[in-house]
A = this chain, B = another copy of it.
Amino acid sequence: MSTLSLPPRLLMGPGPINCYPRVLSAMATQLVGQYDPVMTGYMNEVMALYRRVFNTSNQHTVLIDGTSRAGIEAVLVSALEPGDCVLVPVFGRFGHLLAEICERAGAKVHTIEVPWGEVFDPQQIEEAVQRVRPKLLAIVQGDTSTTMLQPLAQLGEICRRYDVIFYSDATASIGGNAFDTDTWQLDAVSIGLQKCLGGPSGSAPITLSPRYVELVRKRHHVEAGIKDSHHHGASGSRIQSNYFDIPMILDYWGEERLNHHTEAASMLFCARECAITLLDEGKDAVIARHKLAGDAMLAGIQALGLQPFGNLQHKMNNVVGVTIPHDVDGEAIRHTLLHRFNIEIGTSFGPLKGKIWRIGTMGYNARQDAVLHTLQSLETVLRQQRGPITGTPGAGVDAALAVYDENRQ
């Protein structure tokens, strides 16, 4: 049977993106056993590394073995009991996802919404908190569906004031935009590797505050098959998922080392390398690199006469929405970019389906050459499809080069 043979795509969509080569190499490492001190040592190291990624001193910083939404579901289903009240401010697809997962956990979900392309004022959220008095506030930081970045800095204080558990998913934004778990007083955060951290999908780091852990530990149970006389019995209502039972998962990552799942070792090596890659370069430097690439891409898009989508003041550094011009077949452009130039840009869904492209500059691909090739290629395929664009030929790539040049000075 054939060996894997993949084309060398440049992935400039909203993620997944190309992995850092060293992250790919890490996954090819031969395993050791699940309870080998070398393995548990690496688990502890991963906890320490992700504390730095999250900017937190939370002891309970671990991986959920699954894609990003596995982390989301673990955080929500472990905290929520049927009838609990939750507030979800929705500014794109992933807000709807948070709401849906809370509903499936039996919670009473209240949503507030702003139009896609906008974010919330803290006042709007405080008003809703006051009205709804939720047990938990769930909100994404960056919603790739709209490219918007919700400011979170003032929400933690509001949540403390009303005794609300504050949870955010930062999958789309972490690494490319500032994130500050402890300063922002977050109780739970979930992320994935496949955006600005430059890894593949398949591991979901989470961090949990002592307040959150105290809450979910009230629902602590030990699995029947591994129970022995040393283990105390059940307490509190049972979490509806075994796989996402955070008290059990913490027993596995903690000193108890009680067996739950078998840790996905290759994905753990991968998550470790993503964190080290980020921290070696420096968190601020990586954010600056994303900002620069994002600014250059935006300048290029505008110089090509294309309209960026949404409120640019609140755009994530790492992705831009581009309104598809009326005289252009958006899917044909994407098809040509992919099949002739080996460059992928993103489509959209829900209310934005067919209306915008999404172009990412994330992780390994938040690079000058990636930005320049994408803009040149986009100009070429636009010209091929609708004839010469208005303005100077090469205006897009030149504008991006100018952003990079300014930054050098």
Complex contact B202–A242 (CB within 8 A): no
CB under 8 Å from chain B, chain A span 274-301: 276, 279-280
Q: A16-B33, A68-B262, A224-B96 are in contact. Are A26 and B7 (CB under 8 A)?
A: no
Q: A30-B8, A96-B225, A225-B96 are in contact. Are A69 and B261 (CB under 8 A)?
A: yes
CB distance from A202 to the nearest CB of B (A): 3
Complex contact B266–A200 (CB within 8 A): yes
Q: Does A211 contact B (CB under 8 A)?
A: no
A192 to B34, CA, bound (A): 15
Q: Does A27 contact B (CB under 8 A)?
A: yes
Q: A11-B31, A202-B267, A223-B97 are in contact. Are A105 and B6 (CB under 8 A)?
A: no
Q: Is the interface of A mostly helix, strand, loop or mixed?
A: loop
Contact string against B for A residues 98-112, beta-carbon threshold 8 Å, 1 for contact and 0 otherwise: 011101111000000
CB distance from A5 to the nearest CB of B (A): 9
Q: Does A60 contact B (CB under 8 A)?
A: no
Q: A73-B241, A97-B223, A97-B225 are in contact. Are A6 and B18 (CB under 8 A)?
A: no
Complex contact A104–B239 (CB within 8 A): yes
Chain B residues with CB under 8 Å of A99's CB are 224
A244 to B9, CA, bound (A): 30
Chain B residues with CB under 8 Å of A66's CB are 65-66, 70, 243, 261, 264
A26 to B350, CA, bound (A): 35
Chain B residues with CB under 8 Å of A25's CB are 28
Q: Does A336 contact B (CB under 8 A)?
A: no
Q: A65-B66, A68-B262, A350-B228 are in contact. Are A242 and B27 (CB under 8 A)?
A: no
Among A36, A266, A280, the one with the most B-chain Cβ atoms within 10 Å of its Cβ is A266
Complex contact B4–A242 (CB within 8 A): no
Complex contact A226–B67 (CB within 8 A): no
Complex contact A1–B224 (CB within 8 A): no
Complex contact A33–B4 (CB within 8 A): no
Q: Quick one: which of B7, B263, B264 contacts A38, CB cutoff 8 A? A: B7
Complex contact B4–A29 (CB within 8 A): yes
Complex contact A242–B26 (CB within 8 A): no
Chain B residues with CB under 8 Å of A265's CB are 16, 200-202
Q: Does A401 contact B (CB under 8 A)?
A: no
- With A1-B280, A73-B243 given, can you name 17 additional A-B contacts, CB distance below 8 Å? A4-B26, A4-B29, A8-B30, A11-B32, A16-B33, A18-B31, A24-B27, A27-B27, A36-B338, A65-B67, A96-B223, A100-B223, A103-B238, A194-B262, A202-B267, A240-B240, A243-B244
